[in-house]
Amino acid sequence: MAIGVGNRMSILMKGLDYAEKTFPFIDKNREAALGGSYGGYMVNWILGHTNRFRCLVSHDGMFNAESAYGTTEELWFNEWSSRATLEQSRSLSEMVAPRVCKRIQDTDFSRARYQLDYRLDVSQGFDLFTTLQRLKVPSRMLYFPDEGHWVLKPQNSRPLVQNRE
């Protein structure tokens, strides 16, 4: 599975390489990566594996695989994707957790978390945000106590748009 994550990141970076070569208006010094759910997990992964982006935005992505396993209402998904229980694949879970990356880039980072998200517990956002703050990575967290895995209330969409720079 860890090889799969690395392969997916490689594919994303090749796509960006292509876009940079094809579209001359892209400013390589002002690129951002944004993702929600699995895309949020990929943004968290990118955080520990490249400093290519000026800004990263993670929306409801896993940061700590082990704690996510024990706090989700979708336990079947974790076991289906790894083809094993946590006990059977503990080292695998550690390999694919963005939390255990050896380096976390000094990249502006925004994190959006929602209290009513039962797929990924709100603690995933606090875990990532606390880690970034302790490492002095410029970061901010948007917290919505009345949202689930996706922002569905129009009034809550406004802060997501207004908090960009």
As annotated, the active-site residues are 37, 117, 149
Report the C-alpha gap between 68 and 126 in whole angstroms.
12
Residue 51, φ and ψ in degrees, nearest 5? -110, 30
Task: Please write down the HEC assignment for all residues of 118-159.
Answer: CCCCCHHHHHHHHHHHHCCCCEEEEEECCCCCCCCCHHHHHH
Count of CB atoms situated within 10 Å of the CB of 1: 15
Contact yes or no for 113/60 (Cβ under 8 A) = yes
Report the C-alpha gap between 164 and 161 in whole angstroms.
6
Contact yes or no for 48/102 (Cβ under 8 A) = yes
59 bridge partner residues: 36, 112
